[in-house]
Amino acid sequence: MADKAVEAILFDLGQTLLEFSKLCSRPLFAAAAKNSYQWLRNYSQPVPRFWRYKLKHLVGLYLHLGISYLTGNDFDSLELLKSYGRRYRFTLNEEQYRQLNWVWYEPLSKQAYMESDLPRTLDTLRAMGLKMGIVSNTFVNKDSLQRHLSQAGLAEFFPVQLYSCDFPWRKPDARIFHAAAEQIGVAPGKTLFVGDRVDTDVNGALAAGMIPVFKRMAINRDKKVPAGVITINKLAELPAVVEKLQR
């Protein structure tokens, strides 16, 4: 039997596997701050007054986002929370910190949705013998993202998940794509990478020697993609794309 042209598919996470409508960050942050503050009070932790707690986290978030933009490295939300905990003298164990991280992320997770037939699509791709994984730029700790994927019924499809907060580089740096290829055990040239951004997903996959697939959406409808790049409107089109490439 001839070697397959495609043996694996890697996906971006936000706006590719999980989609978000236009988000308003202010009420999301307010809800996360309120929920996490109450959670800490329930665990009898020495939190300051709420306005100070909220302001400190807001300033800290924007500060770390700015540093990430300048350095090209994403911070880890869980490690940031632990640093606050040391300053406040929290007495939380590892599992409690992970739960606190989830409490911060949960309001955003509730805004996510996915294609109604996505589990069926992924099951079809898996039945075709394809390995699957995720490579995403994010500062959200992997534990919370894994929990979100589990709640959405998607975690079982992705034994390999790479998030930039765990690495000294992020997309479009080819090294994070190569790290994913190594973990999934498939050569870059036989790996599709599916994402919704040209600058990070398409260009990064091309630099890494992968086969990019650009997911068209309302927010990127006018983006120009390099010649020859495969485009889709729904992830449900992927099995047909793979079948065509396997011929």
Q: Give 23's pLDDT tier (boundaries 50, 70, 90).
A: low
- Average pLDDT rounded to a whole number, residues 201-226: 94
- Average pLDDT rounded to a whole number, residues 126-136: 97
238 within 8 A of 194, measured Cβ to Cβ: yes
pLDDT tens digits, 73-107? 999 999 999 999 999 999 999 999 999 999 999 99
pLDDT at 12: 98
Tokens encoding 243: 């079948």
Listed by start position, the domains of the chain span: 8-21+114-246, 25-109
Whether the per-residue pLDDT at 5 is higher than 80: the answer is yes
- Average pLDDT rounded to a whole number, residues 39-43: 98
232 within 8 A of 9, measured Cβ to Cβ: no
Whether the per-residue pLDDT at 172 is higher than 90: the answer is yes
pLDDT at 121: 98
130 within 8 A of 107, measured Cβ to Cβ: no
Quote the percentage of the chain above a pLDDT of 90: 91
Strand partners, 213: 194, 230
Amino acid at the residue 143: D
pLDDT at 24: 67
* CATH 3.40.50.1000 is held by the domain 8-21+114-246: yes
Helices 94-109 and 77-88, interaxial angle, to 10°? 120
This prediction has a pTM of 0.94
pLDDT at 1: 39
pLDDT at 4: 83
Tokens encoding 228: 């020859």
